[in-house]
Each structure stands twice: as C-alpha cells, then as structure tokens.
Structure 1
C-alpha cells in the first residue's frame, strides 16, 4: 500500500532526464516497489507521479495488471472522430509530431477528453507493440483503467506530463515511455483531449515532453486564429442585415460567440442550446428571443425592453464526470445547458455548497487560498453572471433564493474536479464538505 507518510519533501525525486535510460528504469522500479510496500526509498517519486499513484490506489486498480476494457466499436469511434473539435487540429499535430515520432520509433496518439483513443499513427513495429497492450484506437486510457500514464494523468492534472518506465503504476506498462499534453479550446479553456507521444522505454528522450507541449500550444493558437477569421466572415455577411434592423439583435456563430450587434452592447458569448433551431427561444440574459439562420451562425432577435419572462427555477450543476462539466438552467420558459470552464466549475461548486453566500474575500480563500485576490474573483463572477443572468445574486455572491440547485458529484469523492487545487474543492475531495 502506498505510504501516507509525508517525507517526500526530504527525499530527492528520481528525474529520468538526469539518468541514462537503464539506470532510470532501475531506480524508478525500486522507488515504485518500496513506495507501494509502504517503505521509504532513498529517492521519492516525482510529486505528479506520487499523487497519481494515490489516486489509482484509491480506485482499486491492481498494480500488476490493468482493467483493460473492450474498445469502442468502429461505428462509435467514427462518430466520435466526426464530432470532435480535434479533427481540425490533426493537420498541425501530424505535421509537427509525426516526423519526430517516426525518427524516435514512437507513435502519435490523440484522445478525447474521456481518454478514448481517437487516432493513433506512427511506426508499424511500435503500433504492433501497442496492440499487445490494448493501446489501440477506441481504447480507454484513463487512470482508472490503465493506471498512471501520459494520457490519463494529463487529463486529470490538465498539464503536460511525462511518465517513464516504472513511473507507470501498472507493471506491464514499465517497458513504455509516454509524454502527453492536454489540448484546450482556446476560446473558453474547455478540455478537448490529449496529444501524446509513446514508445518503448529505450526511446525516451528528455526533450519529448517539451516538443509535445509546444505543438499542443501551436495547435491551440491556430484554432484561435481560425475562430477569429470565422467571426470576421460572419460579421461581414451580417452587417447589411443588422444595419436594416430596428430594435436589438446579435449575430453569433453556431457556438454562441458574438460577431456583431445592433441596439445593444455585444456580449462575448451567449448560451445557446446544444442543438439550436430557428424560431422562438428563451435566453437567461435577454428573455424571449427569436433565432434566424445566417451563413455560419445565427441572427438573434432580442425581445422588446421589458420583463424578461418567467425566471428560471432550477439549476443542475453536473460535476459527476472527470471532464465536460455543465450547468443546466430550466424553468417555465424552457431550459438550456452550458459547458463550464474549470475555473467556473470550481466557482459554482463553491457557491452550491455555501447556499448562504460568500463574499469576494471568502471566495478568494476558497479558490486561491489568498483573501487578497478579490479582483480575480469579481472578474470571473462578472463573466459568469453575463452567462447565467438572474440565476446568480450578489452581496453576498450566491445562487438566487428562488432557484433550486441540484449539485451532482462523482460517485467517488476523489474524482471531484480532479485537476483542481482550489482549497474548497480539495477539502470536498477529502470528505470535509
């Protein structure tokens, strides 16, 4: 069992980059065996690895074999590929990482935010080795299934991570090295998946993680450029129509990002339903509206000034998954669902467990452990209130009194927003809230 004694600060973590591959593998194996036995090896695991081992032990995974599950069917795999935003990033990832993967005898792997392998390319001999481990398209590569690894651990930490040899929790993966970096939607920070280079442990190179991280950021930058160009095209096509309209209206893309406005201050984004259709629509910020299709987006005609319509009466805050957290607002006039960024998920969770409300200083302590960071808290809450409208109140910050809040947590407390270091979330994962 992994020791819970906190002596890691006095021990030197094993850094594979500072050792030759054979010596690194030997040292890492001794660290793993001693740590799992509850002993204190002279060298400790790196903090990111030790924390991952603790999570995996909590899930009950056998350190000698993984929980390999049946991969997705070909039909479901193709459906996930087709609807994944990562499809647009593949050309950048391929052009910058495949040559390096081929030269180093590694494979390039791209997963969705649930850890499912969507694409896998690279040297044929390494692909055959991966097949023997079940590391194939459609496979589930989360920590709960295969233990500490460059994909599953990057999904949890939301940061690039290298996992080499015996840093893998499951013994059968010790012949591998992997370097994974998360891919985010540059518009709102939403996790899209992970890009990873994996191969035999002897193919390890200390610069691999830096390369993967840099290419991930490059892909995100190109996605941002593509988004801004699409908004420019939508703005140009909508301008003549908006100029003829009376009243208030917005031109937004298919995801609700605003390209142009007339008669009202343009919000950065509005919360459209997941599958919007032309016709009447209720929005929490504007009340009764109407949607009309535009090339590449929608025209939103905002109702006349006056009461915004029936107020929402129910909020479902769904944090039950490791990724893809949502808030659904419903009431007499309809409902809509909005995907949350990690920071906004932390904020709404904190408000949900404090129905009496929190001041900006209290929220700064809850989120950052520093009561002085009130300006950051106010800025984030301002963004949230632009989206959630009358759902949130202030002085103190809280959910509105007339709103029924349904907070949905994961079955296991340690799986609550596992990336988060916010004190309020850390306490909840420990069972303190």
Structure 2
C-alpha cells in the first residue's frame, strides 16, 4: 500500500508545472515556511466500481476506477507576512480504459505582504478549479478542463480621520486553461475606495473600478469594464449582513456592450449550532473568468463551462444555506439551494440553473460516522441555444471509521440518474467502493 501511494505521489510531483510548485512551496516545506504556523497533510487511496463508466444509456461499461489523492494545506502569519493555502492533488486511473488516466490539481492560496493598517500592502492569490467543456456535457473527467487564476492586488491607503479610510488598489490577473489556451485572458485595472465607519458595528464603503480585459487569441473580444457601488455592512454577534448597490457596464472593442444595475446581498444569522445564510448578486463578467473560481472545494454550487465564443454576460444568482446541529445530539443537517441565470451579450447560450442539496451526518460512535446526501440539478437553455435541457439526481451514502493513529477507512454507495432532451446524454449509474486515508 505504501509503495503504491509513494509511486503516485512521485508521478504527481513530476507533472506539476513550475508556477504551481512555487505557490505550493510554503506548504510542501512546512518545516521552513510554517514553523510558527499550522499545517496539515493527508494522503488517500480510493477504488470504486461503476456499472456505467461512460454514463451512457446505450453503452454501459462496468469498470474499476482508482484514485490516489494528496491534500496539503497550512497557514502562517507574522508582523510582515501572512499565508494560507489548501490544495488537493490527485491522479485517476481507469481499469477498462473508458477514459485516459489523468492527474488533477485543485485548490487555493493567498499570500499577503503587509497588514491592513500599513500604508501599503500586496495580496497574491492563486486558485485552480475544474470546469465543464460545455454546460450540458455529462460530468466525465474527459469533459472537464482546468482553470487557473493568478492575481496580484497591490494597495495603498491613507486614513485622514479615525473613521475614514481612503484606498487605491490595483489588479493584475491571468486566467489560464490547461487544455484550451485560446480562452486565456489578462485583466489589468484599478479601484478607488472610501470607507467610513459609522459605528463599532457598521460601515459604509464607496467603490469605483475600471478594468481592461484582453484575450491574446481573440483581440476582437477585448473589452473595458467599469463599475461603481455603495455598500453597507453590519457585524453583530448573531447577525452579519452586507448590502451593496451600484451600476456596471462593459465596452467591447467590437460591437455594443452591456450595462445594468449591480447588487450584492450577503446575510448570515445564527450561531455554530444553527445557522442560516443567504446571498444574492448580479454583475457583468465573461465566459473566460466566470465567477472567478469562487467557493470552497466540494461546494454544491453552479459551475462555469469553457464552451462557445468569448463573450460577456450578465450573471444573476441567489443561494440559501441552512445548517443545524440541534436536531439530535449525534447528528447535523445541511440544506443548500441555489438559482443562477446567465444572459449573454451575443452568444445564444442563455441559461437558468436550479439546484437543491440535502445532507446529514450521524455519529454512530466516537470513531465512526454515517453521511447521507441527495442533490438535484435542473438546467434549462434558451430556445435558440444548441444545448440540451437536463435534470440530474444523485443519492449517496458514506460510512467512515477513524482509527486512533489518524487512519480512516470509508465505504460508499451512490446512485446517479440524468434525464435529458438528448437521449445520448441520459443515463443511470450505480457506484460503490472503499477508501483508505492517513492524516499527518
């Protein structure tokens, strides 16, 4: 077992590009970079059997699929520097050759030089996510690309009074795709920010922003983005919320742009035992950056895709979350539902997506737990889009047993079903397997 895991880790290390290794260096060398911080690492080996590896109604294939996974993360802070990272590297193999073997790297990191009270600081962020090649594709590994976003955000600030803060912030970002470099883009811009502390618990912020977006492979898709907004934030013991209203517009190099009101609402209510969360937003973006790799790994939320011509779009989304640990002494329950709508400037890709997820965990004993989840996604496209509407349901059960020496064994079963306007993309699949992981 140890030899197999070591072999896969060496293969992963040989495939990571140099920029990613640089970002991961503080995590990979915890004894140097995180000596005064906190770090974590785990390695796992998972094997599962599926009765429909191609996720196809006409061509079911039984197959064993194996995956080795390495998780690295940590944080470090002193007077001058703070760093936080969490990455998941994996390699997947397919016993019957239904897909090509492939390595993946996903995660986030953030490096900050300076403090929020300093006159200047620099924030460098890195994120990597998988994105579907097309919004109606079946979610197979071969139908996914990988998007990396690397950003540098230098800031200068001046505090004329104890309640007022003036800030100028630059933005330099690169968006890179692993398999479709023609979708890569660069962003350069600046923001002017005025923040006013109304009291100890609330504040007002006025922001003006201008960004130039360029595409090396498609200069005709370049555009300028401008936005202005006013936000109000409140931070109480059991209630935190932020309300932002403004206006944003795009001015493309060719053709007419988009312009519309923008808004952001973010509300959290409750405590650690029972908590509600609600968020809603409307903004202009493009189908290279999308929502900017937001959200934690494993989040149940709508994703982006890398299909179609490069174009701007107006995205409207809302999400409601509920978490409860008071229903019984050994269980917790989580509910998430979302809605997202994309309205493109030129492309016939307008779409709406509705999702619902219910999950629960029951502590069978101090060492073992049982997780159950059910999720549903419903995606609809405009009449002129050459896409297929679909509804997808997934039911999953997972049992974990934790040994005293940080070793975990897991067993899982899942049922996946998809109904689609395109019969070639309908399927039913049953999977089951086991995993072994070790936390350092």
> Greater helix percent: which structure?
1
Please report the TM-score for the alignment, with normalisation by the length of structure 2: 0.26
Please report the TM-score for the alignment, with normalisation by the length of structure 1: 0.27
> Greater strand percent: which structure?
2
